[in-house]
Amino acid sequence: MEKIEFNYPEAKRLITKRAHVGVVGSGDMEVLLEPNREEGSRVFITTSVNGFGDAWKAVFDRFFSKFDGAVRIYINDAGATPGSVLLRLEQAVEVIEQ
């Protein structure tokens, strides 16, 4: 198991809602997305698959190139592929932007 953290200080737009999507089942993960009280965004990942820090970084760089909300994102992961990770993140954004 590995814990990974990222900071995205440029994401500053105020967010008021929170979202929870997904299940920590094989090949899937859960996302908790909530407003960050400080400026910028922070990401906290707990994954049961070790050694994929670079892949996580690439997914979140891409995610924050489009999303500019100031949020805290918590992820519990049971081996989701980068594609499913991005889909789960987009699903969470859909919930808070509704």
Partner 1 sequence: MKTPTIIPDFVNRRSFIELDARARAQSLFDEGAWKELVGPFDSIESPWLAKQGVAPQSDDGCIVIKGKIGGSPAVAIAFEGAFQGGSVGEVSGAKMTAALDLATRDSEAGKPTAAVLLLETGGVRLQEANLGLAAVAEIISAAFALRQHAPVITIVAGTVGCFGGMSLVAGLSSYTIMTREARLGLNGPEVIEQESGIDEFDSSDRALIWAINGGEQRVGMGLADSLVEDDAGKIAAAVRDCVRQGVPEKHRTEQVELYRARIAALDTSRQIDPAILRQQWASTTRGVR
Interface residues with partner 1 (CB under 8 A) are: 1, 18, 20, 23-26, 28-30, 32, 34, 46-48, 74, 76-78
What tokens does 98 get? 């509704």
Q: Tell me, what DSSP letter sits at residue 84?
A: H
**Which C-beta is closer to partner 1: that of 1 or that of 14?**
1
Q: Cα-flanking dihedrals φ and ψ of residue 14, to 5°?
A: -70, 130
CA distance 15 to 29: 23
Q: Could you tell me the smallest distance in angstroms from the CB atom of residue 3 to partner 1?
A: 9
Q: Could you tell me the smallest distance in angstroms from the CB atom of residue 89 to partner 1?
A: 16
